[in-house]
């Protein structure tokens, strides 16, 4: 699980920086969706379960905090066969990555989503940003 946690935390850090920059440039909210093929990591981040590995608790706590503060908009669980990152990190052909590169669209199925509706405060903030307040 350690590799999954470190990869998730690293991907979140990089995606959050890009998200932050895009929001400043375009002055509107940009959703951030994180996907994982680890059911255990998915459950630890989206539910109240805990890991037994002490060294991972800080990274998991940071991911859970980002999820709870709505810095991560949606979290999805994908099958390992549909994991695009495998084409970048493992030797061999990855059909999912090949399909995305050929079509410029990710049409891989997501097994399970945690999608939250925006809170009242987020909707009000978005409305204010549209008006320019």
pLDDT of 24 over the 70 cut = yes
Residue 111: what are its φ and ψ, rounded to 5°?
-70, -45
pLDDT tens digits for 38-79? 888 888 887 766 777 777 787 888 888 888 888 888 888 888
Which helix (H) or strand (E) segment is 115 a member of?
Answer: strand 112-115
List strands edge to edge, sheet with 112-115.
Answer: 33-36, 74-77, 112-115
pTM here is 0.67
pLDDT of 22 over the 90 cut = yes
pLDDT of 114 over the 80 cut = no
Q: Which residue has the tokens 């998730």?
A: 8
pLDDT tier, 4 (very low <50, low <70, confident <90, very high otherwise): confident
What is the average pLDDT score of the chain? 80
**pLDDT value at residue 121:** 56
């Amino acid at each position: 699980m350690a590799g999954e946690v470190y990869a998730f935390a690293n991907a979140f850090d990089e995606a959050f920086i890009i998200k932050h920059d895009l929001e400043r440039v375009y002055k509107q909210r940009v959703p951030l969706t994180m996907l994982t093929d680890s059911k255990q990591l998915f459950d630890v981040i989206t539910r109240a379960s805990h890991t037994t590995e002490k060294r991972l608790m800080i990274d998991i706590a940071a991911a859970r905090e980002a999820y709870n503060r709505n810095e991560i908009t949606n979290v999805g669980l994908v099958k390992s066969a549909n994991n695009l990152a495998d084409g970048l990190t493992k030797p061999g052909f990855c059909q999912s990555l090949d399909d995305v590169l050929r079509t410029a669209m990710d049409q891989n199925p997501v097994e399970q989503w945690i999608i939250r509706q925006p809170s009242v405060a987020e909707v009000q903030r978005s409305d204010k940003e549209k008006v320019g307040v």
